[in-house]
Amino acid sequence: MTSLTDDLFLHALADLDRIVVTCEEAPLHETVRVAVSDFDATGEVAIGRLDHAVVRHDPKRLAQVLENLIANARKYAPGSPVEVSGARVEDGYRIEVRDHGPGMPPEDLPFAFERFYRGGNAAGAPGAGLGLFIVRYLVGQMGGTAHLENADPGLRATLEFPCGP
């Protein structure tokens, strides 16, 4: 894991309220592009459509969120293609991280963002059940929302952020 993710993990264990999230108006598409490129040294993660938009967010923390989602896709859908995309939507911006693996058991989806929750597909996989909890927390601190859904095949994580005209 990267030092940023390690830093985030340690903060999460101690106290989430101490994590500093500093939002600024910045090109969200560039944050996504740089975060994926920096984390994916192998070039195995495809960057799909990335609409241009200036959105209030914390580039460092959003990079951590994307790293976490990509790492989860690789862990739970090894060998599966992973794609990250971003699009302007009605009143905001939507980022999707999708793999083409087996997805998540439907009974686990409602609990996936809970602290220390490990689903049925986590057996034998390393982790503490904090990754998705941290994703939801950080995205929420930036004024956004995080959702998961089975994509048939695979799992789709969707992050939505409000943005101006």
DSSP 112-163: TTSTT---GGGTT----S-HHHHHHHHHHHTT-EEEEEE-SSSEEEEEEEE-
- Cα separation, 163 vs 65, whole angstroms: 19
pTM of the model: 0.84
Can you say whether the dihedral through the CA atoms of 65, 68, 73, 74 is positive or negative?
A: positive
- Cα separation, 132 vs 71, whole angstroms: 11
Sheet architecture: strand order including 145-150? 45-50, 82-89, 92-99, 155-162, 145-150
Q: Which residue is listed with tokens 């340690």?
A: 10
Per-residue pLDDT of the chain (165 residues; tens, 9 = 90+): 455 555 555 555 545 667 789 999 999 999 999 999 988 777 789 999 999 999 999 999 999 999 999 998 888 888 889 999 999 998 899 999 999 998 888 888 787 877 765 565 555 555 555 778 889 999 999 999 999 999 989 999 999 999 865
Say if CB 22 and CB 58 are below 8 A apart: yes
**Whole-number pLDDT of residue 1:** 44
Q: Give residue 122's identity as a one-letter amino acid code.
A: A
Does residue 85 sit in helix, strand or coil?
strand
**Whole-number pLDDT of residue 76:** 83
